[in-house]
Amino acid sequence: MRSSAMRDMMAVTERPEVISLAGGLPDTSTFPPDTLAAVLDSVAVHDAAKALQYGPTEGIVEAKDCIVEVMAAEGMAVDPADLIVTSGGQQVIDLVCKTLVDPGDVIVAEAPTYPGAVPTFCSYQADVVQVDMDSDGMRIDLLESTLDRLEKDGRRPKFIYTIPSFQNPAGVTMSLPRRKRLVEVARERELLVLEDNPYGLLRYEGDPQPTLRSIDGGLYTMYLGTFSKILSPGIRLGWVVAPPPVLEKINIGKQAADLCSSTLSQLMVSAYFEQGRWRDYVDSLTEIYRARRDTMLDALAEFLPRESEWTRPGGGLFIWVTLPDYIDTTDLLARALRDNVAFVPGEAAYLDGRGRSSMRLNFSGVDEDSIREGVRRIGKVVEEQVALYGTLTGRPRTSSAAEAAAPAPPAEEYPGGSVVHLPRRPGRGRQAKG
Amino acid sequence: MARVAVLKGGPSLERQVSLRSGARVEDALQRLGHEPLPIDAGSDLIVRLRELQPDVAFVALHGRDGEDGTVQELLEILGIPYTGSGVLACSRSIDKVLTKMLLREAGLPTPEFCSFNYTAFKELGAAEALPTIGEKLGYPIVVKPAGQGSALGIKFAQSEAELPAAIVSAFSYDTKVLLERQVKGRELAVSILDGPDGPEALPILEAVPNEADFYDFEARYKFGGTEFVCPAQIDEAAADRVTQVSLDTYKLLGLEGFGRVDVILDEDTGEPMVLEANAIPGLTETSLLPQAADAAGIGLEDLVERIVDLALARAGRATTA
C-alpha cells in the first residue's frame, strides 16, 4: 500500500513546475539536431526497407559492430556472436530474470540497488538479498558471509547483480581489489554475476577501472551495456554479453518478449557511428555532467544541514544523500513537492524497508541553475524538519553549514565517496556527523 | 443523454488513483449513453467548464482540492450541478480532526485523540505537552496528517521516543496532525449510497492483511498487500452496530450521494470505532466502494448512473436520460 502510494506520488513529480532531481535522465537537449537529421536521412536513403522490417532476434550485424566498438572503448574485446542487442538495458535485467529465476530464488544485489530493478526482481518473485556498500562499492567480505549463510540454508543465488562503476543510486565505484575478489568469489562458487555498466564512459575524474567482464574474461560475468547514456534512451537499445548457454536462453526469452529490437533504431546507431564522432559526444556530455555534479556538490554543502551526508561520485548521474534518521524521505517528498522539487526516496532502492532517511539526487537531467535551486528548496524543507524535530525533542536547533559560525566545508572535504551512507534500520539511533 | 464533465487528476498526491477512477467513470458513462467530457483539473479548470457547459460534473478527484470542498465551491459559483457531497460536508470529512470532534460531540464512538497544528509546536511550545499526551492516549499512538487521504504519512509510535519523528512525518503533508490511540481490531469499510429513502449502507467490507503479523501495522503498509472480503464475515449484531454508526456518521457530516466510512471493530470491547469518512472514495477496479456495490449486485454502470441522477435531482433537473 505504501509503495503504491509512493508510485502515485512519483507521478506528481512530472508536473512541469517541479524541478525534478528524481529522474535518471540524460540531457538529450545536448544532442545536435543536425546530427539526428543526418542520421535519419542516411537511414532513409540507404536502408529504408531494412529499417522498416523485422530483424534477427540477436540484433543486426551493423549494430553489433557498434557495440563491439563501445566495449573496446571500455577495454573489452568481444565477439559479436557472444552478444544480443536488446530493447534498452532494462530488458537485459528482465531477460536474465526470465531465464534464470524461479519464484523464491535468491538474487544478491547491492544495498542500495538500482530502483528500476526492484519491480523487475519482484515481478519474478525473487528473494533479493542486499549486501551493504561503502565508499569502495559492495563489501565483498559481507558478500561472502552472506553467501555462506545462504549455503548453510541450502540456498544458491541465481546471480549477483552489481553496478560496479558510479553505482545507481549510491554513486560509488567498486575498487580494483574488490572487483578482482568478486570475480574470484564468482569462480570459486561458480556463481553468475550480472554486471550492469550504463555509466562507465561518463567518468569525470580518475582512471577507468577494468570491468568485471574484462577481469573474468566472460566465464561467469553477464555484461549489460546500453546506448541510453552515451547516445539516447529514446532509441531503446542496450545489449547483453553472456556465457553461451545463458545467451541461448536469453535469445529464446527475447524472441518470446518482442521478437527483435527496433531495426530502425539499430540502423540509426550504425549510421551515427559511421560518422565517427560518438566519442566526441560522450566527451561533451562528460564536460556538462561534471560541471553539474560540481554544482550539486557545492549546493549540498551550502544548503543541507550539517548532520547530512552524501557521496561524491567520480562519474555517472547520481548522488546519494543521507539525512538524520528521524527524517523519512518518502514523507519529505510530499513536503518537497509543495515547494516544487522532487527526488527519489531511498526506500525505493531497497526491498526490505531500509533507506528511509536517504534520497537519490540526479544531476544530469537539469541545468546548473535548476540544480542549485532544487537543492536549495530541498535544504529548506529538510531544515524545517530538523528544526521541528529539535523543538519536539528539546534538542537545540542545528544550523545548515552555510549559516554556521564556522566556514562552510568545501566539497573537497568529502573525498571520493568516503561518506557513503551505510543503511540502517529505521528507528535505530545514530551519530550525527559534523 | 447528459453531457457529463468528469473531473479527474489534479495536483493532489492521489492524482494517479483519481485518473483511474475518472477513466472508469468515463467508460461507464459512455456505455450508459451519456457524453463524458474528461477534464484533468488544472489551472484551466474554470475556462474548460465554461467552454464545455456540461449538464453535470462528476467529481472523481481525491485528496486536496478535489475532496475538500474547493472544487465543489467553484462548481457552485459556476452553477454546475455536481456529484457527491457539498462544500461543507467535504470540508468536514477531509479533515480527520474536525470529523472526530463532530463525532465526539455527537456521542459517536471514535478512538481517543488530540490534535495540534504546526504553530502550536513552533510558537507555543506544545512539545512540553507530549509526555502528557502519551499518558492520556497510551501507546502505541497513531500519528496522521489531518487531511491526507491515502496511507502516506501515517506512523505508529510505540513509545514516547518514537513520537517526534512520527509527528515530523505527518507535518510533511499538512499543517495539522492527529494523534490517536491505536485501537486494534478488524478494519472495516462501510460504503454508503443515497437511495429514495435516504442513505443506504452497502455490505460491509473487511480489509484483511496478508501478512501474518497483524501487530505490525506499518509493515502491512509496506510489504504484503491487503485482501478485501465483502461482505465481511462478522456476526449480525456487530454488523448492525457497524452499519448504524457508519450511517450516523454519514448523516452527521452531511455527506450526500455516496461516501465511505472507515471503522475499526475494537477487539477489546467488540464495539465499532469510527476512524474517518471519505466524501469521494476511489472508484477504481480495486477500490472499496465498487467492491461493496458489486457485493450488493450494483454494477459500476448502475452506480455511476445513480450518482449522476442524484446530482441532477439535487439541482432540480430532469433525472434520466
Q: pLDDT tens, A207-261? A: 999 999 999 999 999 999 999 999 999 999 999 999 999 999 999 999 999 999 9
- C-alpha B262/C-alpha B258 separation (Å) is 14
Taking CB atoms and an 8 Å limit, are B15 and A391 in contact across chains?
Answer: no
Residue of B nearest to A351 (CA): B223
| Dihedral, CA of residue A228, residue A229, residue A230 and residue A233, to nearest 10 | 30
Sequence-ordered strand ranges (E) for A121-207: 127-134, 137-138, 159-162, 193-196
A408 contacts chain B (CB < 8 A): no
Other beta carbons within 10 angstroms of residue B237's beta carbon come to 9
Residue B319: pLDDT above 50? no
Residue-level pLDDT at A59: 98
Subunit contact B151:A331, Cβ cutoff 8 A: no
CA distance B98 to B154: 17
Residue of A nearest to B19 (CA): A8
- ipTM for the predicted complex comes to 0.87
List of chain A residues whose C-beta atoms are within 8 Å of the C-beta of residue B169: 328, 331
Q: Best of A9, A331, A388 to disrupt the B interface by mutation (most B CBs within 10 Å)?
A: A331
A8: chain B residues, CB-CB within 8 Å:
13-17, 150
Inter-chain CB proximity B15 and A8 less than 8 Å? yes
pLDDT of B224 > 90? The answer is no
Residue of A nearest to B171 (CA): A335
Choice among A7-21, A196-210, A245-259, B296-310 with the minimum mean pLDDT: A7-21
Share of chain A above pLDDT 90, in %: 85
Instruction: Check residue A423 and report its DSSP letter.
Output: P
Q: B15 touching A, CB under 8 A?
A: yes
Contacts of B220 in chain A (CB under 8 A): 1
Radius of gyration in angstroms for the set of CA atoms belonging to chain B, rounded to a whole number:
20
Asked if B117 has any chain A CB less than 8 Å from its own CB, the reply is no
Query: Cell triple for residue A117?
Result: 530493478
User: With 90 as the cut, is the pLDDT of residue A14 above it?
Assistant: no
Pairs of CB atoms within 8 A across A/B: 91
- Whether residue B151 has pLDDT greater than 80: no
Chain A residue numbers touching B127 (CB-CB < 8 A): 391-394
The mean-pLDDT minimum among A105-114, A118-127, A269-278, A409-418 falls in A409-418
Given an 8 Å threshold on Cβ–Cβ distance, is B151 in contact with A7?
no
pLDDT-derived band at A405 (thresholds 50, 70, 90) equals: very low
- Chain B hits for A128, CB-CB cut-off 8 Å, are none
Burial A36-50 (b: 16+ CB within 10 A, else e): eeebbebbeeebeee
Given a cut of 50, whether residue B218 has pLDDT beyond it is no
Q: How many angstroms separate the most distant Cα atoms in chain A? A: 73
Q: Would you call A328 and B169 a contact, using CB atoms and an 8 Å cutoff?
A: yes
**What backbone torsions phi and psi does residue B16 show, to the nearest 5 degrees?**
-65, -45
Instruction: Please answer yes or no on whether B122 and A327 come within 8 Å at the CB atom.
Output: no
Q: Do A392 and B16 touch (CB under 8 A)?
A: no
Integer Cα distance of B164 and B157 in angstroms: 9
Of B34, B61, B33, B1, whose CA–CA distance to B282 is shortest?
A: B61
The residue among B162 and B219 whose pLDDT is bigger is B162
Of A8, A389, A392, the CB nearest to B13: A8
User: Is the Cβ–Cβ distance between A241 and A213 less than 8 Å?
Assistant: yes
Report residue B196's pLDDT band, with 50, 70 and 90 as the boundaries: confident
Catalytic site positions of B = 14, 150, 221, 260, 262, 276, 278, 282
Closest by CA position to A430, among listed A356, A367, A345, A363:
A356
Contact A392 B163 (CB under 8 A): yes
Residue that the C-alpha cell 489531518 belongs to: B146
The answer, yes or no, to whether residue B148 has pLDDT greater than 60, is: yes
Is pLDDT of A409 > 70? Answer: no
pLDDT value for A72: 97
pLDDT confidence bin for B211, thresholds 50/70/90: low
**Which grid cell sits at B190?**
462501510
Q: Is the pLDDT of residue A9 over 90?
A: no
Q: Does B225 touch chain A (CB under 8 A)?
A: yes
Using CB atoms, pick whichever of A3, A5, A388 lies closest to residue B121: A388
pLDDT of B225 over the 90 cut: no
pLDDT at A353: 85
The pLDDT tens digits for A126-166 are: 999 999 999 999 999 999 999 999 999 999 999 999 999 99
pLDDT in tens, A31-83: 999 999 999 999 999 999 999 999 999 999 999 999 999 999 999 999 999 99
Residue range B188-195: mean pLDDT, rounded: 95
Span B271-287, pLDDT tens digits: 999 999 999 999 988 88
**pLDDT for res A401:** 46
Distance between CA atoms of residues A131 and A423, nearest Å: 10
C-beta atoms of B152 and A337 within 8 A: no
Model pLDDT, residue B209: 77
Q: Judge whether residue A398 has pLDDT over 60.
A: no
Please tell me the predicted confidence (pLDDT) of residue B128. Answer: 86
Q: Which of B200-228 are b and which e, b meaning 16 or more Cβ less than 10 Å from the residue's Cβ?
A: ebbbbbbbebeeeeeeebbbbbbbeebeb
**Of B152 and A245, which is predicted with more confidence?**
A245
Closest CB to B130 among A3, A392, A427: A392
Chain A contact set for B14 (CB, 8 A): 8
Amino acid A11: pLDDT: 76
Q: Answer for the pair A17, B43: CB distance below 8 angstroms, yes or no.
A: no
Under the banding of pLDDT at 50, 70 and 90, the label for residue A4 is: low
Q: Choose, out of B8, B13, B122, the residue to mutate when testing the contact with A (most A CBs < 10 Å).
A: B13
Residue B127: predicted pLDDT: 84
pTM, entire model: 0.88
Contacts of A335 in chain B (CB under 8 A): 171-173
Contact yes or no for A335 and B172 at CB 8 A: yes
Q: Is A328 on the interface with B (CB under 8 A)?
A: yes
* DSSP state, residue B267: T
Is the minimum CB–CB distance between B169 and chain A shorter than 8 Å? yes
Check whether B169 has a pLDDT greater than 60. Answer: yes
Top pLDDT among A13 and A146 is at: A146
- Give tens-digit pLDDT for B36-70: 999 999 989 999 999 999 999 999 999 888 889 99
Q: How many CB atoms lie within 10 A of CB A175?
A: 16
Is B127 in CB contact (< 8 Å) with chain A? yes
In angstroms, the Cα distances linking A248 to A58, A243, A252 are 10, 9, 7
The per-residue DSSP string of B227-239 comes to EEESS----HHHH
Residue B141's Cβ-side half-sphere holds a number of Cα atoms within 13 Å equal to 31
SS3 A281: helix
| pLDDT band per the 50, 70, 90 thresholds, residue A325 | very high
Interface-testing mutation among B122, B133, B172, B228, with chain A (most A C-beta atoms within 10 A): B172
Average pLDDT over residues B199-217: 74
Q: Please report the pLDDT score of residue A10 as a whole number.
A: 76
User: Mean pLDDT over all residues of chain A?
Assistant: 90
Tell me the percentage of chain B whose pLDDT exceeds 70.
93
Find the closest chain A residue to B157 by CA distance.
A427
